[in-house]
Amino acid sequence: MKTAELVAGHAPQWRQLEQLCTQLESRGTRIKLGAHRRTEFAALYRSACADLALADAYQLPAETTRYLHNLVGRAHNLLYRVENAHASDWWEELMQRVPRRLYRDNYLRLAAALFWGGFLASALLASRYGAMPNYAETVLGQDQIQQLEQMYAEPTNQGRGLNDNVGMSGFYLWHNTTIGLRCFVMGVLLGIGGMFETLFNAVFLGAAFGHMSTTPESDNFFTFVTAHGPFELTAIVMSAAAGMRLGFSIVDTGGLRRADSLMLAGRQALPTMFAAVFLFLFAAFIEGFISPSALPYSLKSMVAVLSTLALLGYLIVLGQAGDADGIDDEQLTIEG
Amino acid sequence: MSDRPTPIDSRVKVVTPENIAFEYRLAGPFARIGAYAIDQLIIAGVFLLAAFVFGSVSAALALPGLGAFAVLVSLFLLYWFYGGLFEWLMSGQTPGKRMTQLRVLRTDGRPITARQAVMRNLLRLIDLYPYCYVLPDVFNEDVSIPLPTGLVCLAAMAFSRRYQRVGDLACSTMVVAEEPSGSGRAAKDWLATGETANDPQLQRVLAALPASYRPSRTLARALSHYASRRRYLGPGRRREIARHVGAPLAEQLGLPPDTDHDLLLGALYVRTFLNESDEEAMASGPEKPPVVGANPVLAPAPPAESTDPTAAETAPPAPPPTVGVAPGAPGYQIATTPPPNTPS
């Protein structure tokens, strides 16, 4: 039995498998494929597997072996496809598992402490009670301060139509969500990157708030930021917490290998980040439409109160409902 | 299988539920940077196009705000979710990866999930770190352009087994190079150079070979490697490479010292992989080589037909056999035999 003969004998089956792969790979032809052809595909795949397993014994030439490796890999991925998550899974993830995880998440507490602590300290320093007169200027820079003051020189509801609001919502969506996602991603740097990013944002925002409170534009400023504040700032804290979970999982592995620990943390952190993206989305629309509108301040603060209540409901009411999925549960799914 | 030292190369082995190990070729940083560059160009192009289309449409409708919204949302989606979306929908490929024939897979060889696709693309931001700020004075302004150096990514790839960047490590994925799926063609590589097995010079060397000599399994593998690469080499290079194996072999087999080493390897290749003619000589040879005897399936050469009746009807014609093919190709009963060994 010579190799050439062997290859010639088996090549038709390999080619047939290759054809079936091509048909299965595109959605249109996949649907048309009958059950008979599908079982044939499995049989052909298994026989190609057997040929590959015996390639060494058959002394197949290197090129043929490579071809078989490719073919088996391709067919393997078609046979063992992954079911994509359904929308209901995502809903369950966002509305049940994420709040439960966050409710018990120490990183959320750490992120909140860092953010709010940094924010309040920075705001205090930049306000008129601060001990450092040039603090805001040092942190924000002269240009930024001028820009801020200019932005809020007029009440923001002046001269902005519905059309501008739509555009500004787009800007807030892009700009703020990018900040949040950066907070999340930087967390991977052993958690320190995320802490730095969180603290940086906190100090910067705090300085802006503190400084604006000393200026004549403070009314316009605070009228503007009230309505969307809760969603936006909570979203930043949540992104930072998700990022820290990633980063600290490399340091504190809980007995897993570092790579596995990071992977497990990634599974838990990504849905949290998506919840934060939704919050950014809500915040962008509030910031685009309600914050600059001519609505009375009482209504705007009502929006702030309602969104705070919604957040508390999400984090505490939904978070407390039922047990957190034990970490052991999720470890079982590492491989999956 | 796993305790044997594996050669240092960029292949990764995946074991299927059938207990078959097949290999993927991993894609290193230089294979991937091309795909990345293509994707970046596509992102830039699509963004410019979106800006133009949304801009002109919204200008025509006198709704500039709506246009700005659409442009910014598309910027957001492209910047953060281009890779994740495509790798999810195109089972592990972005347009750039498809063009450069790369694919993202889980480390166990299965296709990636949506979550993995999104995650590994979000984490690209880290992989591009640290940024190096360039200050071009063309604008005569304090504009600094952040250029990603990708050192984090390179370091992670250097220290991980499968060229994984941080994003890959965090969701246990890897990028493999899909080799152009050539054809089932195998043993005609030697002939692709224009020389046939009937070349009189080759025949002469073939005749001079001791009838009982069979190359060992490793030599056979080396021969097939040489044969598949040979057509890319010039005559001088062929001589140079063939000398290393050919010279000791010629001595061992008692061939005249002026034997062309390239031809000698060719003759051995023909004997190992193609020729049928000296089958009897081998069978009657005093020492039966372990190579053939080691295979319980092939040794008796069962005269079986394929058990799959449809195979013959729908299959395209087989590649032309280089040498006359005996009718008894082993069929599917091989599949029922537990594989005695897996390729290393």
A35-52 pLDDT, tens digit each: 888 888 888 998 888 888
- Give the pLDDT score at B288: 35
Helix (H) or strand (E) holding B105: strand B102-106
Taking only residues 225 to 244 of chain B, the set having a beta carbon closer than 8 angstroms to any beta carbon of chain A reads 225, 227-228
Contacts of A73 in chain B (CB under 8 A): 14, 22-24, 109
Residue written as tokens 């995880």?
Answer: A101
ipTM (interface predicted TM):
0.81
The answer to whether the bond into B210 is cis (omega within 30° of 0) is no
**A·B CB contacts under 8 A:** 282
Q: Which of A220, A221, A228, A232 is nearest to A303 (CA)?
A: A228
CA dihedral B223, B224, B227, B232 (to 10 degrees): -110
Task: Give the number of other CB atoms < 10 A from CB of residue B247.
Answer: 14
All residues of chain A having their beta carbon less than 8 Å from the beta carbon of residue B315 are 12-13, 15-16
Q: Do A63 and B184 touch (CB under 8 A)?
A: no
Please identify every stretch of chain B with a pLDDT value under 70, giving residue numbers as ranges: 1-8, 135-143, 179-198, 274-344
How many Å apart are CA B203 and CA B228, to the nearest integer?
Answer: 20
What does the pLDDT look like over A74-108, one tens digit per residue? Answer: 888 888 876 666 777 788 888 888 888 888 888 88
B66 touches chain A (CB under 8 A): yes
A54–B335 C-beta distance less than 8 A: no
Q: What is the DSSP string of B319-336?
A: PPPSSPPPS----THHHH
Among residues of chain B, what percentage have pLDDT more than 90? 10
Q: Say if pTM beats, i.e. exceeds, 0.80.
A: no
Facing residue for B69 by CB, picked from A166, A273, A335: A166
Distance CA A335, CA A264 (A): 10
Which chain A residues have a beta carbon less than 8 Å from that of B332? 43, 47
Identify from B9, B47, B75, B76 which residue to disrupt to test chain A contact, counting A C-beta atoms within 10 A and taking the largest count.
Answer: B76
Digit-coded pLDDT (tens) for A130-166? 777 778 788 888 888 888 887 777 766 555 666 777 8
Residue B180 vs residues A74, B36, B98: alpha-carbon distances, Å: 12, 20, 12
Q: Is the alpha carbon torsion for A279, A282, A288, A292 positive or negative?
A: negative
- B residues 154-183 lying closer than 8 A (beta carbon) to A: 166, 169-172, 178-179, 181-183
- Asked if B110 and A63 come within 8 Å (Cβ–Cβ), the reply is no
B26 phi/psi in degrees, rounded to 5: -75, 150
Q: What residues of chain A score a pLDDT lower than 50?
A: 327-336
Tokens 């799926």 correspond to B181
For B200, counting Cβ atoms within 10 Å of its Cβ (0-12 exposed, 13-18 middle, 19+ buried), the class is exposed
User: Does A42 contact B at CB distance below 8 Å?
Assistant: no
CA distance B159 to B157: 5
